[in-house]
Amino acid sequence: MTLKIGILSFAHMHAQSYAQEIVAHPDAVLVGIADPDPARGAAMAAQLSTTYYPTEATLLSQGLDGVIVASENIHHRRLVELAASAGVRAILCEKPLATTTKDARAMIAACAAAGVKLATAFPCRYSPAFQRLKQQVSAGAVGEVLAIRGTNRGTMPGGWFVDKALSGGGAVIDHSVHVADLNRVLLGREATEVYAEIGSGFYHQDWEDTGFLTIGYEGGVFATLDTSWSRPKTFPTWGDVTLQVVGTNGVLDLDMFAQNLVHYDDRAGRIGWDNWGSGTDAGLVADFLRLIAGQEVPNLATGEDGLRALAVALAAYRSAASGESAAVENS
């Protein structure tokens, strides 16, 4: 059976990678793209040899099995609810799941009421290095986990990412959710509180480009996270994801994107790091297709997982505003 997939918006840069994985998959077909930007939508449709639909409703009327939502963050709720009402089997929504916990819960409820499965796009779960780290921690390689030190430092993406009306914030909401999700997977515990310092010392705008979080978890474990757009435009790659797990019997370190070829690019006038090895998006999309087909996909993040990670980011904003620790809304 060939699964019919549609993509709602190419506003997020990850949409192109997801689309390419769909096109390359033997059991799926990319039926079309709906995008509010006609030039962008038509260009991507031509590149991917699919059809551009000027409205979401027209694409959703094509009898789709699954939908990927890759719009600006503020539109996630509307598009997920629209897709759920159209009768698709499953929806993969780009992170963060929403810009408020109210919207995230509404999305989860709408999908549950319609019998639609909701997944959150957390591709870092599919990193072979992270999978190995998870196995080692579960096997007790470091003993009892005491703390985790994490980073997700990247270059400032610009565009709608720095329009808070569309994104919901800056570097904190953009980057903290990935590592918050990885920490939760590693620990098997919920975050309870966050103390955060945020600032705009690099670009001096009304959105934060710098964030440093200390996250408390059930049982007294804590984690720190540098979640900043601190990499300059000339940095060889977009950023990093690193974790250091400290336990009673040892320490394990992960550098998720350390496998690089150095690329001297005369055309672009810069030196870049081109990643090699297993791509995380391939595993994410493959599991999404298995979800549509009714198979078990324990590694795929659910809507609830997306809500939990979002709650950490939003607690960071409340903490930074008050100057005190803020409770994570887990109920």
* Residues of the chain scoring pLDDT < 70: none
Helix, strand, coil share (%) of the chain residues, nearest 5 = 40, 25, 35
Q: Is 129 exposed, middle or buried (0-12, 13-18, 19+ CB in 10 A)?
A: buried
Whether the CB-CB separation of 9 and 15 falls below 8 Å is answered with yes
What does the pLDDT read at residue 274? 85
Domains of the chain are 3-121 (3.40.50.720), 125-278+310-327 (3.30.360.10)
Rg over alpha carbons for the chain, rounded to the nearest Å, is 20
State residue 153 phi and psi, 5-degree precision. Answer: -100, 125
What does the pLDDT read at residue 32? 98
**Residue at 105: amino acid letter:** R
What does the pLDDT read at residue 272? 87
Whether the CB-CB separation of 239 and 231 falls below 8 Å is answered with yes
CA-based torsion, 31, 37, 42, 47: positive or negative: negative
What does the pLDDT read at residue 278? 75
What does the pLDDT read at residue 53? 97
What does the pLDDT read at residue 312? 98
What does the pLDDT read at residue 258? 87
The pTM of this model reads 0.96
What does the pLDDT read at residue 273? 86
Q: How many CB atoms lie within 10 A of CB 100?
A: 14
State residue 166 phi and psi, 5-degree precision. Answer: -105, -30
**Residue at 203: amino acid letter:** Y
Strands 66-69 and 145-151, how do they pair? unpaired
Tokens of 124: 């870092």
Strands 90-94 and 117-121, how do they pair? parallel
136-166 per-position pLDDT tens digit: 999 999 999 999 999 999 999 999 999 999 9
- Phi-psi domain of 45 (left: phi exceeds 0; alpha: psi -120 through 50; beta: other): alpha
